[in-house]
Amino acid sequence: MGLISSSLSVNPSPNEQSDLLSVHFPTLTREQQQLPYVHFAKSELTEAPKKRVMEKFLKRKPSTSNASVPSNNAVDINDLPWDPSERPKITSYNPNQIDEIRRQYLVRGPCQPRGHEFPTSMIGAKARRFVVSWFDQFPWLEYSVKRDRAYCLHCYLCRDQGGIETFVTEGFNNWSKKDRLTLHEGGVNSFHRNALKRCEDLLNQNQSIASALQKQTQRMKTEYHMRLNASVEVCRYLLENALPFCGHDESESSLYKGLFLGTLKLIGRTNKDIEKVILHNAPKNNQLTSPKIQKDIVTCFAEEVLKSIIGEIGDDVFALLVDESSDVSRKEQMAVVLRFVDKCGMVQERFVGVVHVIDTSALSLKSSIDAFFAKHGLSLAQVRGHGYDGASNMSGKFNGLKALILSENESAFYLHCFAHQLQLVIVAVAKKHDGVKDFFDLLALVVTVVNSSCKRKDMIRESHKDRIQEEIGNDEIVTSKGLNQEISLVRAGDTRWNSHHRTIMSLIALFPEVVKVLEYVQEDGDNVATRLQASGILSYFKTFEFVFYMHLMLTIFGLANSLSQALQRKDQDILEAVSLIQTTKDQLQMLRENGFDELVEKCYSLCDKHNIVKLDMEEGYVNPKNPRKRMNISNRHYYNFDIFNTVLDMQIREFDDRFCETSTELLQNMAALNPRNSFSEFNKERLLKLSEMYPCDFNDKEKIILEHELDVYYHSVYNDVRFSNLKGIADLAMLMVATRKHISHPIVYRLLKLTLVLPVATATVERCFSTMKLVKSDLRNRIADEFLNVVLICAIEKEAHGKVKNEDVVDRFQKMKTRREQN
């Protein structure tokens, strides 16, 4: 024990000291109690029992916030909690980061989920809830979706100690006392007004001490803005084209310093005024070219793009499209796309971000979506549809992401991606029918053999080039821009949409060249096994059966390919998709009934062209695997019934099994909105049933109004010639906005929007992953998750990115932190 002394010390005897210590400090050992040279203050001997008495009768009030308190270590500014109830005290952050954290929250703005379905609670004898119009009346107001409480952003960030902290820590939920919000604002010198003034001064860079100590001349400010605008323009160009920013070596002696510095130097060479204020002509401590500055500018661009997208949605409904994929660093990334109807009545699918997820379980994905919605002021109550692929963690009936969302929002209807289901139909037939399976196995083997060396690829290119030139000279083929291009064999993949169709197309186009390469391998292969393999492929390759399978699958996959391309359109609506699926099924049925003879003629044409033995359909069928065994059937019977009809029956059956959603009551009711054939499918009863399937969107009063409004709507559009030749509900929505009928029939237009937002396919999400592979490549595999996200937002949403003004980027950039030069 150390020495304890005081001016009011006492010197008891050793025995008295031991007795006193055993009473007041029972945790001390006997040896510690008898240590010499220990002097205790009288206050300390009496303070301990008082403290125990106070702790016995007075209990500390537990903290109401369930947020984890951060340590004084630096935190990631881009990973701050956005729900007000999850934020720790602002003073608990690292003192060197507090101002930067405050600016981050102020630039983002208060958490205001305007589209959220605010729950009701009984206060007294009446049901009360938060009112969304309070956001407009009190701009400082925040709302926590998790705790159903209101908070004040400015008081959380800059409030003095003292006063009632209901809007800072506990949260306000007495919805019957709206006057408390006005009372919280208070007078001129209230706690709230002072906090608001501090927040405004923090964003006003001219009020900072650094700005006051460093007086800038007008010339220096002009040069600074020229330099900053040049850096902004360079970032804009690199983001639009998804190009890298930094070089491997940016030292003075480096010949290539990266695209950012190189493009900035190019701008300087084309504009002498800018050249005088950038790079070496700028102050060493204010060149605005560091990687940190570049990332800040890119973040400003992405924030402005997201601001415009979220502004388009507002408090309206939307659909959620989600998929996950691993990047080049083997990190699982979840892409989020929102589908909504804009103010012009057009369907939009907009990419809003990619989120790194630790695992791909449904709970992890749901947690990431909740955090994303809280960050951008969105709510799960606004979701009216969600679509994913068929993975169990996504579409699981009990524990999948689909089930978790439906448990919170019963109006968020789920649809399995139609394009993905179509691919499953194709793969199912390619694997279940033995003859088709052997055909694709051989096809994969052909692609492997032909593409296994550069020499064989060159043989195909040169041989194809010579044949094209010969056919052009003989006027056998047409020449035009884009025709007769160099092609190569494509490998089919179960997860690559339309790849089976492209493989067969390339094989037919390169049929003589592939035969030539196989003959070369058969003669001059590296070893006996390779030569025997090529010989076996050739023996089946030049048979009528192979040609028949090739043309049959080309015809079937050609119909499926047209459907797949239509389903992948961003503006495709669910009713048009269902109609296309039914049309494809009808075409397959017609092909089964009347298409055999035409298919045989195509096979004969190819056989004549490439010297392949044709079969007489009326002769007896001989099994090539067992030619001695008599089959007692004709070639027509075998190819027509055993192959042609069987494969098509399997294809039609797979369509019926996979696309079972097309017959659901929801889509049948929505079909009553279809304007085709002068609104021939209009059905008032079905549309009334459709409104009952969305209880959150139509109250009892609106349902009564809808019954009368539907009659007026039908006569209005039926007698209007402008609505006579519409192709689908997408055209109907745009024309209603153009003719302002969406104002005269608002409830019908709401039904129309609910139908349009239902997702058809996740093709937009897949395109986002394609862009991600371009941005985060093998050479750029160390891109941080946050920087990857902001780059992808700008690279994918090119239209919104192009509309961002430099002034808005500069303004946001200035507010992020204290800069050397101020406005």
Contact yes or no for 688/470 (Cβ under 8 A)? no
Strands (E), 32-147: 121-123, 126-128, 141-144
What token pair was written down for 527?
Answer: 């070893």
Give the dihedral of Cα atoms 362, 365, 370, 371; nearest 10 deg. Answer: 150
Rounded CA separation 338/349 (Å): 6
Tokens of 430: 């390619």
Asked if pLDDT for residue 476 goes beyond 90, the answer is no
CA pair distance 664, 416, nearest whole angstrom: 13
Q: What does the pLDDT average to over 136-164?
A: 86
Does pLDDT of 41 surpass 70? no
Segment among 214-218, 264-268, 443-447, 475-479 with least mean pLDDT? 214-218
Averaged pLDDT, 785-803: 92
- Angle, to 10 degrees, between the axis of helix 499-509 and the axis of helix 434-450? 60
Between 80 and 639, the higher pLDDT residue: 639
Measured CA distances, 145 to 151, 365, 380, 602, 713 (Å) = 11, 18, 10, 64, 38
- Write down the residue that tokens 């609910």 correspond to: 754
d(CA 424, CA 531): 35
362-376, 472-486, 754-768: lowest mean pLDDT where?
A: 472-486
Across the chain, mean pLDDT equals 83
Please, is 802 exposed, middle or buried when counting C-beta atoms within 10 Å of its C-beta (0-12, 13-18, 19+)? exposed
Amino acid symbol at 319? A
Checking 576-580 for CB contacts under 8 A at 24+ apart, the result is 576/727, 576/728, 576/729, 576/730, 577/418, 577/760, 577/761, 578/662, 578/667, 578/671
The pLDDT assigned to 799 comes to 92
Evaluate if residue 707 carries a pLDDT over 50. Answer: yes
**Distance, CA of 316 to CA of 758 (rounded, Å):** 14
Residue 59's pLDDT is what? 46
In this model, does residue 34 exceed pLDDT 70? Answer: no
| pLDDT of 733 | 93
Structure tokens given for 579 = 């109609």
CA 171, CA 459: separation in Å to the nearest integer?
Answer: 75
Instruction: Determine whether 187 is exposed, middle or buried from the number of CB atoms within 10 Å of its CB (0-12, 13-18, 19+).
Output: exposed
- pLDDT tier at 6, thresholds 50, 70, 90: very low
Q: Is the pLDDT of residue 662 over 80?
A: no
CA-to-CA dists, residue 162 to 41, 168, 191, 482, 613, angstroms: 34, 11, 8, 75, 97
Higher-confidence residue of 187 and 62: namely 187
Average pLDDT over residues 795-800: 93
Backbone angles phi, psi at 582, to 5 degrees: -65, -40
Give the pLDDT score at 549. Answer: 92
More confident residue, 682 or 212: 682
The yes-or-no verdict on residue 66 having pLDDT over 50 is: no
| Tens-place pLDDT, residues 688-706 | 999 999 988 898 899 999 9
Amino acid at 158: C
Q: What gap in Å lies between CA 147 and CA 219, rounded to an integer? A: 52
Lowest mean pLDDT among 168-172, 181-185, 479-483, 626-630: 479-483
pLDDT band at 189 (very low <50, low <70, confident <90, very high): confident
Identify the pLDDT of residue 249: 79
Bridge partners of 355, per DSSP, are 334
pLDDT level of residue 372 (50, 70, 90 thresholds): confident
For 731, the token pair is: 């055209």
Region 392-400: what's the mean pLDDT? Answer: 78
The more confident residue out of 614 and 397 is 614
| CA pair distance 481, 746, nearest whole angstrom | 49
Radius of gyration of the chain (CA): 36
Task: Read off the pLDDT of residues 114-124 as tens digits, 9 standing for 90 and up.
Answer: 878 888 888 87
Per-residue pLDDT band for 392 (boundaries 50, 70, 90) equals: confident
Q: Mean per-residue pLDDT for 65-83? A: 67
Work out the pLDDT band at 793, boundaries 50, 70, 90: very high
- pLDDT-derived band at 483 (thresholds 50, 70, 90) equals low
Average pLDDT, integer, range 677-681 = 88
Tens digit of each residue's pLDDT (9 = 90 or more) over 622-631: 888 787 777 7
Instruction: Report the percent of the chain where pLDDT is more than 90.
Output: 27
Q: Kindly give, in sequence order, each residue whose CB lies less than 8 Å from that of residue 681, ignoring residues fewer than 6 positions away.
A: 671, 672, 674
Q: If you average pLDDT over each of 90-94, 653-657, 788-792, which comes out highest?
A: 788-792
Q: How far apart are CA 552 and CA 434, in angstroms?
A: 15
* Rounded distance between C-alpha atoms, residue 436 and residue 425, angstroms: 14
The 383-388 sheet, strands edge to edge: 347-356, 332-341, 318-326, 383-388, 413-416
Residue 4 has pLDDT above 50, yes or no: no
Average pLDDT over residues 83-104: 86
DSSP-based three-state secondary structure for 187: coil
pLDDT beyond 90 at 319: yes
User: What is the rounded CA–CA span in Å between residue 135 and residue 794?
Assistant: 29
* Side-chain-facing half-sphere of 200: CA atoms under 13 Å: 7
Q: What is the pLDDT of residues 562-609, one digit of tens each?
A: 888 888 888 888 888 888 888 999 999 999 999 999 999 999 999 998
Read off the pLDDT of each residue in 18-22 and give the average, rounded to a whole number: 50
pLDDT for 594: 92
Tokens of 286: 């204010």
- The DSSP result for 234-299, as a single string, is HHHHHHHTT-----S--STT-S---HHHHHHHHHHHH-HHHHTTSGGGS-TT--S-SHHHHHHHHH
Judge whether residue 149 has pLDDT over 70.
yes
Helix (H, G, I), strand (E, B) or coil at 99: helix
DSSP track, 310-322: HHHHTTS-EEEEE
Q: What percent of the chain has pLDDT over 70?
A: 87
**Helix intervals (H) in 451-510:** 454-473, 499-509
Say how far apart CA 18 and CA 48 lie, in whole Å. Answer: 16
Q: Where residue 98 falls among pLDDT bands split at 50, 70, 90? A: confident
Answer for the pair 333, 327: CB distance below 8 angstroms, yes or no.
yes
* pLDDT band at residue 536 under the 50/70/90 scheme: confident
Strand partners, 386: 320, 414
- Is there a contact between 518 and 501 (Cβ–Cβ < 8 Å)? no
Q: Which of 345-354, 366-375, 453-462, 494-503 has the lowest mean pLDDT?
A: 494-503
Task: Pick the more confident residue, 476 or 247.
Answer: 247
pLDDT above 70: residue 325: yes
Q: Which of 6-15, 386-395, 442-451, 490-499 has the lowest mean pLDDT?
A: 6-15
Q: Is 6 left (phi over 0), alpha (psi -120 to 50) or beta?
A: beta
